[in-house]
Amino acid sequence: MSIDNTKYRNYIFDFKAAAALFAGLFIGIMVLGLYTLFAYFILKQGYAEIQSSMVFFIVSYLCTVLFPIIGFDVFVMKSQGKKLNFNMQTRPFHVYLMIFPMMLGMMLVSEFLVSKIPIEGEFFGPLYDQMSDAFSTIATDTAGIYLLTVLFAPFLEEILFRGIIQKGLINKAVKPAKAIIFSALAFGIFHLNPWQTVNAFLLGLVLGVVYYKTKSLLMPILLHAFNNFISAYLLLNGNSESVTENLHLPEYYGLIVGIVLLSVSYYLFMYRNRIYYRE
C-alpha cells in the first residue's frame, strides 16, 4: 500500500527558515514582556505572583513555541505564496500496536538513564532545584497541567521539531537519519535542563523515526501526548515521575523491559511493517 502526499513537500529548512523561527521567537518574547507589564501595572500582580501563575506558564509557552511557528509561516511560507500543511492522516491499527510499545520502551530506557544524572553539586544542584520549584509551582493546577502538557505541547512541538525542522531538512535532501538526530537534538536543547534534555532527545529519536516512516504528523503527536499524559499523571498522583518507582520495581527491571519493548517494536515497525508511505 502506498500513499502519495506531494502537497506536503513544499518547504525546506535552511538558514532563512531558521532565521524565521528566531524572528518569531523574538516577537514572542516581546509579547511575553508586554503581558508581564500588563499583569504588573494593570492587574496589580507582584512579579513572583505573575511567574508562579499557570496563565503565565501557558502564555510563556505559547510565546516561545507558537510564535516561531507563526514566524516560519509568515516569513517563509506566505512570502512564497505557499500554505503550511501537515499530513494528519490516521494509519492502520497494527501500526499503533507497534509505535506505542516502542515509545513506552524508550520512556523506560530514558527514565533509567536520566536517573543517573546527578541532582546535587555546584552545577547540577541549583538547576535541579530550579526545575523542581517550577514543577511544584504549577502542580496545584491539574487542568492547566493537562492542557499544557497533553494538548498544547504535543501539537505545537511536533509541528515545530518534526514538521518544520525534520521534514524541512529531509526535503532539503539531508539524509533522514541526520535529520532525525538533528531535530531530536534541537528538541532536547529546547527543554533547557540536563534531565529533560536527555529525555527529550531520546524520545525525539522515536518520534522522528515514526514520523519519517508513517509520513503522518498525527503519529508523533499521539505518542508525545501519551508520554506527557503519563508524566503529568505521575507528577500529580504518584510519588515521582518514574514509572518504575511507582510500580515499586527495581530500576534495572524497567531498563530491561524498556530495551526489550523498544528493540522488538522497532524491528517490527521498521522491517516487518509492509505498509509504505511516500510523499
Tell me the pLDDT tens digit for each residue of 113-151. Answer: 999 999 999 888 998 888 888 777 777 889 999 999 999
Q: What are 244's three cell numbers?
A: 518504575
**How far apart, in Å, are the Cα atoms of 132 and each of 8, 117, 128?**
40, 15, 6
pLDDT averaged over the chain? 92
Confidence of residue 4 (pLDDT cuts 50, 70, 90): very low
**What's the pLDDT tens digit per position in 157-200?**
999 999 999 999 999 999 999 999 999 999 999 998 999 999 99
Neighbours of 163 (CB within 10 A): 25
Q: What percentage of the chain carries pLDDT values higher than 90? A: 74
In a 3-state reduction of DSSP, which class is residue 278?
strand
> Cα-flanking dihedrals φ and ψ of residue 15, to 5°?
-60, -40
Do residues 50 and 39 lie in contact, with contact meaning Cβ atoms separated by under 8 Å? yes
Stated as kind and residue range, the H or E segment containing 63 is helix 54-72
Examine the pLDDT at 222 and tell me if it is beyond 90. yes
- pLDDT at position 189: 97
Q: Rounded CA gap, 47 and 234, in Å?
A: 30
pLDDT at position 9 over 80: no
**Residue 272 pLDDT:** 80
C-alpha cell at 242: 518514574
Where does the pLDDT of residue 274 fall: very low under 50, low under 70, confident under 90, or very high at 90 and above?
A: low
The residue count for the chain: 279
Mean pLDDT of 76-99: 93
Q: Report d(CA 7, CA 9) in Å as an integer.
A: 6
Q: What single DSSP character describes residue 208?
A: H
Q: Collapsing DSSP states into helix, strand and coil, what is residue 97?
A: helix
The amino acid present at 145, given as its one-letter code, is I
Name which of 4-18, 67-81, 150-164 the model is least confident about. Answer: 4-18
In sequence order, the 6+-apart residues with CB closer than 8 A to the CB of 28 are 62, 63, 64, 66, 67, 68
pLDDT range class, residue 3, cuts 50, 70, 90: very low
The DSSP annotation for 130-160 comes to HHHHHHHHHTT-HHHHHIIIIIIHHHHHIII
Nearest to 180 by CA among 162, 198, 153: 162
Three-state DSSP state, 175: coil
